[in-house]
Amino acid sequence: MSIYRIWSIAANGFREVIRDRILYFIGFFALLMLIAVRLLPEISVGTHQKIFLDLGLGAISLLGAIVAIFVGTGLINKEIEKRTVLILIPKPLSRAEFIIGKHLGLSAVLGVMLTCMTLVYLLLLSWTKVNYQALPLIIAVVFLILELALLIAVAIAFGVFTSSILATLLSFGIYCMGHISKDLLKLGAISKNESIASITQTLYLLLPDLERFNLRNDAVYGLLPNVDTLLSNATYGILYTALLLGISILIFSRRQF
Is residue 223's pLDDT more than 80?
Answer: yes
Q: What is the predicted pLDDT for the residue at 39?
A: 83
Lowest-confidence range among 39-48, 51-60, 163-172?
Answer: 39-48
pLDDT band, residue 22 (cuts 50/70/90): confident
| Distant-in-sequence, close-in-space partners of 227: CB < 8 Å, separation ≥ 6 | none
Q: Write out the DSSP string of 80-96.
A: HHTTHHHHHTTSS--HH
Residue 144: C-alpha distances to residues 39, 49, 65, 117, 223 (Å): 27, 22, 9, 12, 16
**The dihedral sign for the CA sequence 215, 218, 221, 223:** negative
pLDDT band, residue 88 (cuts 50/70/90): low
Q: How far apart (Å, rounded) are the C-alpha atoms in residues 164 and 170?
A: 10
Identity of residue 138: I
Range of the domain at 113: 3-253
Ramachandran region of residue 21, left (φ > 0), alpha (ψ -120 to 50) or beta?
left
Q: How far apart (Å, rounded) are the C-alpha atoms in residues 237 and 154?
A: 12
> Model pTM?
0.90
Q: How far apart (Å, rounded) are the C-alpha atoms in residues 1 and 209?
A: 30
CA triple 172-243-144, angle to 5 deg = 50
Three-state SS at 130: coil
Q: How far apart (Å, rounded) are the C-alpha atoms in residues 117 and 114?
A: 5
Q: How far is CA 218 from the centre of its chain?
A: 19
| Distant-in-sequence, close-in-space partners of 217: CB < 8 Å, separation ≥ 6 | 54
pLDDT tens-digit map of 95-128 = 888 899 999 999 999 999 999 999 999 999 888 8
Mean pLDDT, residues 78-84 taken together: 68
Identity of residue 103: H
Mean pLDDT, residues 59-80 taken together: 87
Total domain count, the chain: 1
Q: Contact at 8 Å (CB) between 20 and 110?
A: no
**How much is the mean pLDDT over the chain?**
85
Q: Contact at 8 Å (CB) between 159 and 99?
A: no
Ramachandran region of residue 32, left (φ > 0), alpha (ψ -120 to 50) or beta?
alpha
pLDDT tens-digit map of 167-198 = 999 999 999 988 887 777 777 777 777 777 78
Residue 229: C-alpha distances to residues 37, 42, 234, 235 (Å): 34, 39, 8, 10
Is residue 240's pLDDT more than 90?
Answer: yes
